[in-house]
Amino acid sequence: MQLYRAVPAPNTAESWLLRLGLHELLRCKEKADDWVFIVDHTLQLGAMKCLVIVGLRLSVWNKLTAPLRHQDLTLLTLEPVEKSSGEIVHRQLEAAAEKVGVPVAILSDEGSDITGGADQFRGNHPTTQVLHDIAHKAAVVLKHELLADPRWELFVKHCGQTQPRVKQTELGHLAPPTQKVKGRYMNLGPLIGWGARMLRLVETPEADRPADLNLTRLAEKFGWIRDFRQALVDWSDLQAVKDHVLDYARVAGYHVDAAGELRLQLESVAHTPPGQRAAAKLVEFVHEQSSEVPTNHSLPASSEVLESLIGKGKRMQGQHSRGGFTKLILGMAASVVQITEDRVREALEAVPHNHLLKWIQENLGRSLTAQRRQAMPAITGTKVG
């Protein structure tokens, strides 16, 4: 086994990663007539937001038998801006089309600025379809059903009150999961699943519960969940419908037979009135989105892969993102690269470190942290008070 006497310093490895990402962003891409653009914004602290456009070739999509991965994408646009509007997004879409050709479709959530920009783009390019993400639509449908159900608000209230009451007790491991603030209705599975499992545990006879756990105060702390027995059946049905629709759409996409296939499949999934209403709304949405897709063609229906890529970029930036965009935003670009020795060598030869520094200065400028330090310089040798 070969022994390495030295390894790159962390700063060197970071530079290699960012140069790889910058090369992916700037390299010439093949022009073709089968591109699909997937578009989203990533928000940060301060006034800046960043539009991310990734491209997917239908020649790649048509061969897939599993959901999209980061490496199936090509990064086309990574542009921080101080503000966004339909006109700005339209300009960004046109610039991306100049690189690779007019896309077959543009897929995004239903954000007003992106949708406005996509509609303007289609005005100039009528053959481009403007599609909306199925995951966001499913979250909207769930939100509508749950907010119309008075049991849901009471259930969430009980969960919020129970969590601090049991957190530092022998029942702390059974506390309800914390709900996300952003994208709450896209991530309800853990909470609804917790409720169903907790109900089963509470209703399990004491003699049949795990003997090595101290559950003597289970009914005292969690007995309230019995009041939501039927509600949890309804909500689990809603979640099952959502999960099935997303599982189908991630692989099959939008196509002329999609609505009919989903309708048949959901007949064995949706058993309650809330689930059946949600199923009907989502089937109708898939029908609308698929109405212009040519026969024997399929187009992507989910932008979750881009949201995952943006999330990865945020994790790379870590706490530094609190100061606005940093150079580590290029980590998103590096994440779509199919890593090979040749690709890495090509990137490092084409993008010297000084080119990386120039791009950072021209496109990111000073971070909010640097501006804060300038506005409020450190005071040394002075006591306050």
Asked, for residue 16, whether it belongs to a domain, the answer is: yes
Q: Which residue has the higher pLDDT, 180 or 166?
A: 166
- Quote the pLDDT of residue 305: 95
Residue 21 host element (H or E)? helix 10-26
Count of the separate structural domains present in the chain: 2
- Note the Cα 59 to chain centre separation in Å: 24
Question: Is it the case that residue 261 has pLDDT exceeding 80?
Answer: yes
CATH number at residue 346: 3.30.420.10
| Predicted confidence band of residue 379 (pLDDT cuts 50, 70, 90) | low
Q: Which of 224, 256, 290 is the last residue of a domain?
A: 290
Is residue 38 one of the residues assigned to a domain?
A: yes
- pLDDT for the residue numbered 37: 98
pLDDT tens column, 216-259: 999 999 999 999 999 999 999 999 999 999 999 999 999 999 99
pLDDT at 321: 52
- Per-position b or e across 15-41, b if 16+ CB within 10 A of its CB: bbbbbbbbbbbeeebeeeebbbbbbbb
Can you name the residues that pair with 43 across neighbouring β-strands?
49
- Max CA pair span of the chain: 75
In this structure, are 237 and 285 located in the same domain? Answer: yes
125 and 155, same domain (yes or no): no
Q: Which of 266, 290, 314 is the last residue of a domain?
A: 290
Residue 223 lies in a domain: yes
On whether residue 108 sits in a domain, the answer given is yes
pLDDT of residue 329: 87
pLDDT given at position 79: 86
Q: Is residue 295 part of a domain?
A: no
Mean pLDDT of 69-93: 92
Looking at the fold, whether 144 and 280 belong to one and the same domain comes out as yes
Task: Examine the domain organization and report whether 36 and 119 are in the same domain.
Answer: yes
Q: What is the pLDDT of residues 283-329, one digit of tens each?
A: 999 999 999 999 999 999 999 999 999 888 888 877 555 555 678 88
Task: Quickly count: other Cβ atoms within 10 Å of residue 330's Cβ.
Answer: 28
DSSP 293: S
pLDDT for 372 equals 54
Q: Are residue 175 and residue 223 in the same domain, yes or no?
A: yes
pLDDT of residue 47: 63
pTM, rounded to two decimals: 0.88
The answer on 82 and 26 residing in a single domain is yes
Is the pLDDT at 373 greater than 60? The verdict is no
Could you tell me if 92 and 117 are in contact, meaning their C-beta atoms sit under 8 angstroms apart?
yes
380 has a pLDDT exceeding 60: no
Q: Of residues 168 and 262, which shows the higher confidence score?
A: 262
Residues 247, 141 share a domain: yes
> Cβ(53)–Cβ(96) under 8 Å?
yes
pLDDT for res 322: 53
The reply to whether 184 and 92 lie within a common domain is no
pLDDT at 378: 57
Residue where a domain stops, chosen among 225, 257, 290:
290
Q: Is residue 24 located within the same domain as residue 105?
A: yes
pLDDT of residue 272: 97
The pLDDT assigned to 186 comes to 83
Q: Are residues 246 and 346 in the same domain?
A: no
Q: What is the pLDDT of residues 264-277, one digit of tens each?
A: 999 999 999 999 99
84 — pLDDT class (breaks 50, 70, 90): confident
pLDDT at 211: 85
Q: How confident is the model at residue 326, as a pLDDT?
A: 79
Domain that holds residue 156: 137-290
Residue 108 and residue 214 in one domain? no
Q: Report the pLDDT averaged over residues 125-143.
A: 96
Within this chain, do residues 127 and 266 fall inside the same structural domain, yes or no?
no
Contacts with 228 (C-beta within 8 Å, 6 or more apart), sequence order: 151, 155, 195, 199
Which long-range contacts (C-beta less than 8 Å, at least 24 apart) are formed by 269-275? 269/237, 269/240, 269/241, 269/244, 270/237, 270/240, 270/241, 271/237, 272/233, 272/234, 272/237, 273/234, 274/145, 274/149, 274/234, 274/235, 274/237, 274/238, 275/234, 275/237, 275/238, 275/240, 275/241
Over residues 14-48, the pLDDT tens digits come to 899 999 999 999 999 999 999 999 999 886 555 67
Percent of the chain with pLDDT over 90: 72
Flag whether 220 is in a domain. yes
Statement: residue 181 has pLDDT above 80: no
Assess if residue 236 is contained within a domain: yes
Average pLDDT over every residue of 127-154: 96
pLDDT tens, residue by residue, 349-363: 999 999 999 998 888
Assess if residue 32 is contained within a domain.
yes
